Structure 1
Amino acid sequence: MPEVVFPLDSQKKFTEQRIVGHNRWHPDIPALVQVKPGDVFRVHCREWFDGAIHNDDSADDILNAPLNQVHVLSGPIAVQGAEPGDLLIVDILDVGPIPQEDSGPLAGQGWGYTGVFATRNGGGFLTEQFPDAYKVIWDFRGQTATSRHIPGVSFTGIVHPGLMGTAPSHELLRTWNAREAALIATDPDRVPPLALPPNPDGAILGNLRGEEFDRVAAEAARTAPPRENGGNQDIKNLTKGSRVFYPVFVEGAKLSMGDLHFSQGDGEITFCGAIEMGGFMDLHVDLIKGGMETYGVSENAIFMPGNVDPRYDQWLAFSGTSVTLDGEQRYLDSHLSYQRACLHAIDYLQKFGYSDIQAYMILGAAPIEGRLSGVVDIPNSCSTVYIPTAIFDFDVRPSATGPHKIDPGQGVPVAKA
């Protein structure tokens, strides 16, 4: 096993660990761990809510989740010799649930969860249709996930980090905060909000204390969105065997990671989506000096996908166009067309006995494929959702005999907003 450079004790909270990570982006958060180019090492990661979500049949914990405290990230990790303008090479050698802990109260100890936030807490991709809080528990057996809340479904996980990235420079951080503040100002009372401004409440900043903590907490960016440094990209193919090339904006690069997923559908459409868990990552790092200029990577990482995707070879695909539910035509709105494709898939799965929220949760957690299939044919963009047929315990394809009817069981726990 590689050396564990960022250990986490499952008996302690994230803020009580020997090395404390962070949940904001800021260049002045100290790197308490240092590695060298060429090193191979292991990092432990805590589930993004640090144990606030429980393995039970209530969604109250999703409704009341401590949103100001996410994401709890392992890092920053400094890479010796990394300088602004370099490319940081990160190889994901292995990634998985919490090692040797197949039962326990933390997500990653043999189980994980998928949630939908209430609209006031951020909602999800389909928040207009699903405005309340919901939760599904998934049990792990090897690489397979099943759920007592969604019968008749099992699938192979495609384990990956939802969030990984380098620290921003002071200039880049100011750019983030200015452009997101301008967006918020266009509709400051919107629910859910258009963006999340810096918020000192709940900030975790490594070993910073006192006035320095207060200064950084007031400036630091929330970790919710993807940005130029990588961040919360939620790319399901960023799995074992992936090589990522991150732009370096500060000395040492200051690499951080977390928000591990056992599985996810393209788009993580349920928002508290995928199958959230804690676990570990085995990484190798190296540098391409001056690589940002050499390869034209001035912002946003590029990557080579991993080689351990589930080998599903038969799919049922649903398409959607950029027309609203009440018939309004929109111009090449790919966001809307993907929503419509997802809603068509949900309508279809309900014919087999699933509730609408059970079908929505399947799309968020199972390794579905989402594609922009047409973005030039005015006025309609076309998006598609591909569902692997083998994840169901019955034949989900259309036939002359009609849909097989399943027993939906106890259903998905809900907490009314």
Structure 2
Amino acid sequence: MSENLFPLDSEKSFTDQKLVGHNRWHGDIPAAVTVKPGQVFRADCREWFDGAIVNDDSADDIANAPLESVHVLSGPFAIEGAEPGDLLIVDILDIGSIPNESGPLAGQGWGYTGVFTKNNGGSFLVDQFPDAYKAIWDFEGGYATSRHVPEVRYRGITHPGLMGVAPSNKLLSTWNSREAALIATDPHRVPPLALPPEPRSAILGSLTGAEFDRVSNEGARTAPPRENGGNQDIKNFTKGTRVFYPVFVKGANLSFGDLHFSQGDGEITFCGGIEMGGFVELKVDIIKGGMEKYGVSENAIFQPGIEGPQYSEWLAFSGTSVTLDGEQKYLDSDLSYQRACLHAIDYLTKFGYSPEQAYLLLGSAPIEGRLSGVVDIPNSCATVYLPTAMFDFDVTPSKGGLHQINPGIGAPRTANS
């Protein structure tokens, strides 16, 4: 086993650790650890809310989730010799939850999926699901099951939802300017159009004093993906993946976290996938001058790993760019994917799942989401593929009639939902 360069004590909060990570992007956050090109190392990761979400049958914790505190990231890791203009090579050698252990923290034998309220982040289907819901998933032998979504069992495609490098000050200023301009077009929208810098609850590694105050007011929130990688939530970003990141600051300052035991394409519930804590084992290297050499001036490129289940049988649902009210939109692929997801949710309710259970399942299970047609005006077509093997019953249409599940205790919701 490689050396753990970022150990986390499960009995302490993220800010009380020997090494403190961060939850904002800024090039002036000091590196916590320095590694050499070619070095293999391991790091612990806390789930993105640092223990705020608990293993129970209520969604009140999801409704009150402290979004200003996320994501708690391990790092930054400076790579010796990395300079702006280089490409950073990151190989994901291993990733997982803490094995054979149960405890109060997600990742110690369990994880969770949640739907945020409209007033606190929302989700991809926020208009249809404006309230908070949660599902707890138990891990055993690489499979996930849930008392809240019965009669399904599947292998996860475990991956870090978030990994990226530090932005230069120029790039950070670009992010903040363009996102502020977007917010200004509808400043009172719920959910908001973007998340501006927020000093409240900022965690900035070893920074203190005036530098902490300055960086906390400038640092970018970690919620969206950007040119540095960040919160891309790519489900195939798993063991065996090789990533090439553009380097914007000396040392690159690599950080990562937001581990998922599993996730469907799109992470449509927002508090999506199955959130967990755990560990990541990496190897890093550098291609000098790689940004210009390979034309990677922004946004990482990667070779996906092949870890996880290899499903061969699917039940697919399609959607087009027409609203639920019948209004025609022009090649709106976002809307098409929403309609495909709603089609799948409606179908699953016929077997006895509540809409909330079906939605939580689509966010967490390794579904495939595809843009199937984007040229045939006025309708784009998006599709959602459900692996049939994850159900304990035949989920396909048949002459024999519908199987009815035992709904169990259902998906936890807030007390006022």
Q: Which of the five TM-score ranges fits, normalised by the shorter chain?
A: over 0.9
Q: CA RMSD in A?
A: 0.7
What is the CA–CA distance in structure 2 between the aligned matches of 1:93 and 1:272, rounded to whole Å?
26
Give the deviation of 1:307 after TM superposition: 1.4
Shift of the alpha carbon at 1:98? 2.2
| Pairs within 5 Å for 1:272-351 | 272-351=271-350
| Structure 2 counterpart SS, 1:175 | helix
Alignment of 1:8-407 (within 5 A): 8-99=8-99, 102-407=101-406
CA deviations on 1:133-171 (whole Å, 9 max, x unpaired) are 111000000210000001100000100000000000000
| Residue 347 of structure 1, CA deviation | 0.6
Contact 1:136–1:361 at 8 Å: present in 2 too? yes
The separation in 2 between residues aligned to 1:352 and 1:58, in whole angstroms, is 24
Distance in 2 separating the partners of 1:245 and 1:32: 21
Amino acid at match of 1:76: P
Native 8 Å contact 1:270 1:360 kept in 2:
yes
Question: What's the CA shift string for 1:252-285, capped at 9, x where partnerless?
Answer: 0000000000000000000001000000000000
Give TM-score, length-normalised by structure 2.
0.99
Q: What SS does the corresponding residue of 1:192 show, helix, strand or coil?
A: coil
Matched residues in 2 for 1:220 and 1:50: separation?
Answer: 20
Runs of 4+ in 1 over 6 A off after TM superposition: none
CA distance in 2, matches of 1:56, 1:172: 42
Rounded Cα–Cα distance in structure 2 between residues aligned with 1:64 and 1:308: 34
SS in 2 for 1:280: strand
Does structure 1 conserve the Cα–Cα contact (< 8 Å) formed by 2:87 and 2:291? yes
Which residue identity is paired with 1:294? K
CA contact (8 A) 2:99 2:109 kept: no
Gapped regions of structure 1 (runs ≥ 5): none
Structure 2: which 5+ residue stretches go unaligned? none
The answer (yes or no) to whether the contact 2:86–2:287 under 8 Å persists in 1 is yes
Matching residue's letter, 2:283: H
Deviations 1:278-322 (A, max 9, x none): 000000000000001011000000000001131111000000000
- The aligned amino acid for 1:337 is S
Contact 2:96-2:158 at 8 Å conserved across structures: yes
- Partner in structure 1 of residue 411 of structure 2: 412
For 2:17 and 2:349, the matched residues in 1 are separated by 45
Structure-2 separation of matches of 1:330 and 1:149 = 36
Instruction: For residue 99 of structure 1, report the CA deviation from its aligned partner.
Output: 4.4
Question: 1:178-227: CA deviations, max 9, x gaps?
Answer: 00000000000000000000000000000111111000000000000000
One-letter amino acid matched to 1:15: T
Amino acid at match of 2:171: L
Distance (whole Å) between structure 2 residues aligned to residue 378 and residue 409 of structure 1: 44
Tell me, yes or no, if the aligned pair for 1:62 and 1:117 is still in contact at 8 Å: yes
CA contact 2:58–2:134 (8 Å) conserved in 1: yes
Percent of aligned pairs with the same amino acid:
77
- What secondary structure sits across from 2:336 in the alignment? helix
What secondary structure, in the 3-state scheme, does the structure 1 residue paired with 2:24 have?
coil
SS in 2 for 1:77: strand
Q: Normalised by the size of structure 1, how large is the TM-score?
A: 0.99
Task: Report the AA paired with residue 58 of structure 2.
Answer: S
Amino acid at match of 1:411: G
Tell me the distance in 2 between the aligned counterparts of 1:80 and 1:350. 54
CA–CA separation in structure 1 for the residues paired with 2:407 and 2:125:
21
Q: Secondary structure at the match of 1:339?
A: helix
Instruction: Give the whole-Å Cα distance in 2 for the aligned partners of 1:96 and 1:182.
Output: 39
Partners of 2:37 and 2:80 within 8 A in 1? yes
Give the aligned residue type for 2:173.
Answer: R
CA distance in 1, matches of 2:98, 2:61: 22
Cα distance per residue 1:52-105 (max 9 Å; x no partner)? 0000001110011111100000000000000001000000000000245x2000
In 2, are the aligned partners of 1:99 and 1:280 still within 8 Å (CA)? no
- Quote the Cα distance in structure 2 between the aligned partners of 1:288 and 1:12: 38
Task: Give the C-alpha shift of residue 122 in structure 1.
Answer: 1.2
